[in-house]
Chains A and B, each alone.
Chain A
Amino acid sequence: MKFGVVVFPGSNCDHDMIYVLKKIFNQEVVPLWHKDRDLQNCEFIFLPGGFSYGDYLRSGAIARFSPIMEEVIKFANNGGFVIGICNGFQILCEAHLLPGALLHNDNHKFICRNSYIIPQTKQSITTSSLDQDQPLKIPIAHGEGKYFAKDDVVKKLNDNEQVLFRYCDKYGKITPESNPNGSVENIAGVCNEQRNVIGMMPHPERAADENLQNVDGKVIFESVFKEIENRVISR
């Protein structure tokens, strides 16, 4: 499978993502420039973290109208897999590919540290082979990461098992204290109704290399690869 990582002006996790896909997991991966309209036959798109267009106006708001995003939106609407990490999550919300929005953290600070998240469902490519009792230590780095959606939207997310990860403590308990940014119901990651578009604030690509002393993010990628393989075989 060919992966594409979109590069916006101000993206700063694009190379981390490319490195992890290429060097750690031996996948074919190409960068996709924001001004291009060609997805280069990629079958899976990542929107990386960073500060696309300097986070001007609102995080993700300007990126959403870039030429490449028009193609990514079409690709997603046709069922293509798109995962947005951090700023990528913000862009997907601005593009209405995911419900809700990411607001300023409650404490109005930029938070850069490890967080713990716990998978909430097996019904997604990122979580299908994860243990729902096993918290993962994954770094976060954001100023606007407070997930917010109206009550009825959150209810629907819960009812449809669209919440993929919640912030928790190191034992896996979902508590107010373990919520780093004020996200509604500790939500750290969600998917759309069709389950092909996924967004999460924590950075699994920053926890996938042995040299960094934390490889908790690896299982998320492995889950994706395994799920894709199963789908290709069953096709």
Chain B
Amino acid sequence: MNYRAEINVMPLKALLDPQGKAVAKSLKNLELPEISDVRIGKHITLNLEAENEEEAKEKVETACKKLLANPIMEYYEYEIYDD
């Protein structure tokens, strides 16, 4: 089976995100004072083959844990789609 994973890797909430902070300041210049707490992470998509969704999840989990995210500074979440 072919699966597609949509993964979000985000900076941990407790940590300063300088990129998000700079963008938040810029949004203020657009006269959108309602916007706050901008945080910038990465969106990663990938295709994979697996017997079933459970196996696909396991593989994506391994990819996230070992390489795609660093738990010291980031957290991740993902959705798996049956293509």
Chain A interface (Cβ within 8 Å of chain B)?
57-58, 61-62, 65, 93-94, 100-101, 103-108, 148-150, 182
Q: Which of B40-62 contact A (CB under 8 A)?
A: 42
Find chain B residues with CB under 8 A from A61 CB: 67, 70
Find chain A residues with CB under 8 A from B72 CB: 93, 100-101, 148-150
Given contacts A101-B72, A108-B22, contact A148 B15 (CB under 8 A): yes
Find chain B residues with CB under 8 A from A103 CB: 15, 73
Given contacts A100-B72, A148-B72, contact A65 B19 (CB under 8 A): no
**Total interface residues on B, using CB and 8 Å?**
12
Instruction: Please report whether the interface of chain A is mostly helix, strand, loop or mixed according to DSSP.
Output: loop
- B18 x A104 contact (CB < 8 A): yes
Rank and list the top 4 A-B pairs by shortest CB-CB distance, nearest first.
Answer: A108-B18, A101-B72, A101-B73, A104-B18
- B18 x A105 contact (CB < 8 A): yes
Query: Does B16 count as interface, using CB distance less than 8 angstroms?
Result: yes
Find chain B residues with CB under 8 A from A182 CB: 16
Q: Which of A62, A93, A107, A149 contacts B18 (CB 8 A)?
A: A107
Closest chain-A Cβ to B38's Cβ sits at a distance in Å of 13
Closest chain-B Cβ to A179's Cβ sits at a distance in Å of 14
| Chain B 7-38 per-residue mask, 1 if CB under 8 angstroms from chain A, else 0 | 00000000110110110000000000000000
